[in-house]
Amino acid sequence: MKIALIAHDRKKDSLVEFAIAYKEILSEHELFATGTTGQRISDEVGLKITRFRSGPLGGDQQIGSMIANNDMDMVIFFRDPLTAQPHEPDVTALVRLCDVYHIPLATNMGTAEILLKGLQEGFVDWRLIQERRN
């Protein structure tokens, strides 16, 4: 599965901690991330990650393009709901694309844990249904 990992600045530490806790599961999949987030996970966790630009510089849109091209299976995006983001329209567009293309999206640690545990157990029927539609 192809999994995108994204985090706003104040949530990067949490995503790194999450990646450490779920390194075994994440290592079995193809990982993608926006700039700094990907660098931190690569350096601090040791996971292989394809990095895009930083979110505000187009990284969110690059991941959105993968979603629109049926080339992304899951998005884990630790958002900071208490801080205004200069690239909020890009974030909104990414969330919208996840909804349009039925891509599971976790915006916090609790939901991300449930998605990865489900993935580990093989609950991927949603993806098979989506592939039949394309």
Annotated active-site residue 60? The verdict is yes
Q: Give, to the nearest 10 degrees, the angle between helix 35-45 and helix 12-21.
A: 40
pTM: 0.92
At 109 the three-state DSSP class reads helix
What is 85-105 written as a DSSP string? -TTHHHHHHHHHHHHHTT--E
pLDDT exceeds cutoff 70 at 134: no
**Cα 71 from Cα 36, distance rounded (Å):** 22
2-133: CATH topology: Rossmann fold (3.40.50)
Q: What does the pLDDT look like over 82-106, one tens digit per residue?
A: 887 777 778 899 999 999 999 999 9
**Cα 53 from Cα 84, distance rounded (Å):** 20
**Residue 134 near residue 100 (C-beta atoms within 8 A):** no
Known binding-site positions for substrate: 8, 12, 34-37, 54-55, 87
What is the band of 130 on the pLDDT scale with cuts at 50, 70, 90? Answer: low
Mean pLDDT estimate for the chain? 92
pLDDT exceeds cutoff 80 at 79: yes
* Nearby residues of 77 by Cβ (< 8 Å), 6 or more positions away: 4, 6, 7, 91, 94, 95, 105, 106, 107
Q: What does the pLDDT look like over 49-58, one tens digit per residue?
A: 999 998 888 8
**Cα 107 from Cα 75, distance rounded (Å):** 8
28 against 88, higher pLDDT: 28
User: Any bridge partners for residue 51, and if so which?
Assistant: 33
| Active-site entry in 43, 60, 90, 125 | 60
42 against 127, higher pLDDT: 42
| Amino acid letter for position 26 | L
Tokens (6 digits) for 133: 């539609």
Tokens (6 digits) for 83: 């801080």
